[in-house]
Amino acid sequence: MGNILEPQCGQGRLLGDGEASLGSRYQTDMFPRKLGEGQFSKAYVCWNKNKSSQCYALKVFVAASEGADHATNEIRVLHALGQHPRIIRLIDVDNQDPRNMRLVLELCEGGQLFDRLVSLGRYKEAKAACVAQEILEAVAYMHGKGIMHRDLKPENILMVSPDSDINIKVCDFGIAKMVDPLDKIVIPDQVIQRWRKPPPRATSFKGSDFYLAPEMIRQEEYGPEIDIWALGVTTYSLICGSLPFVGDDGVEDLRGTYRKIVNREIHFEGEAWDEASQMVRDFILQMLCIDPSQRLTARKALEHNWVKAADFSESDDDVDDADDVDDDRSDRSDRSDSSLVIDELDDEGGPPPGCMSKNVEKLGHAETLHAALEPVSMWLM
């Protein structure tokens, strides 16, 4: 495989630094421990040579134009965002050689929210409210900086620690987009913030199928409201462990999935929803308004009663919950990733349609899948 910290093509240099490459500052094991792998990059554990106790995540992008584009965009967006407690922090970068882009990022040792949800089966409502609040804090900050994520989903939300189910950071800004800043209209005793609507705001088909907003599927111009929709889908999944919009023929039925999204065919059925409060249903429905202008903004969502009632002290100190989670994780510790599915099965012995299992993750990005399909507008006629 070669040294992943050294340039494979040409001689890259750290921007603003005299040292030859990231390899002069950081190191990995001889066989680096992989943290994860996406469509355009892989992530490994590395550490600072001068502070061996300080570990980081090394993100290596694929040697292709798409990988370079994602890397360049992620660097630009992370620089624009600066530091926020709910957003992954950029530590170092080597981007002199576009064929061999590498970033050093803050390390979150708890893995993806997706994997945590698969392990737990579903979140208890109190913990789900805490996670939703933290994601909203990140989204409100992003939108205030004129940035929309465009691929918000549990796979792109990291758990800071394996010991906490509610401490998160948003990551993966490879397809994020910078949009026009906020207008500020000052009225006595209040400031109203609203987005400008440049013509167009964005029209490219980006994101992941099950989290796409209706306006994107309809191929209309869209704005930061798409992130709110994606968070509504994520919150639904946290509460019940399943996706809200899945075609009748399962997760590979994209036509059926898209139809259900644009018509907002959503159901609150099953044991999880029998136990859930009316407040969380109201929160989700306000995030999943078909008309983007009627959706809650991130700031408004933070003021929703369900989010404001989030109690972090009780949520992560529930002894009974912790015991149950520890038992559940120990039972699953010797299972491969492909076997990590929710233990609720349908009559044929497989996971129910839309359950948060690895078969959902492997479908990949809508951007790639959509390119090979007929125009979406034809599906919706």
Which two three-digit tokens encode residue 271? 């044991």
Contact partners, residue 310, CB within 8 Å, separation at least 6: 126, 129, 130, 132, 133
Amino acid at 8: Q
Q: How many secondary structure helices (H) and strands (E) does the chain include?
A: 15, 12
Three-state secondary structure call for residue 169: strand
Closest CA to 157 of 91, 103, 238, 102: 238
The answer to whether 42 is annotated as binding is no
Secondary-structure percent of the chain, ordered helix, strand, coil, rounded to 5:
40, 15, 45
- Spatial neighbors of 318 by CB under 8 A, at least 6 apart, are 124, 126
User: Does the active-site annotation cover 151?
Assistant: yes
- Per the structure block, which two tokens stand in for 380? 């919706």
For residue 381, which of 221, 259, 264, 217 has the smallest C-alpha distance?
A: 259
Which of the residues 92, 97, 151, 227 is marked catalytic?
151
CB half-sphere exposure, 305, CA atoms < 13 A:
6
Q: Is the peptide bond before 200 cis (omega within 30 degrees of 0)?
A: yes
- Nearest alpha carbon to residue 184 among 231, 150, 146: 146
Numbered residues of the known binding site for ATP: 59
Residues marked active site are found at 151
Which residue positions form the known binding site? 59
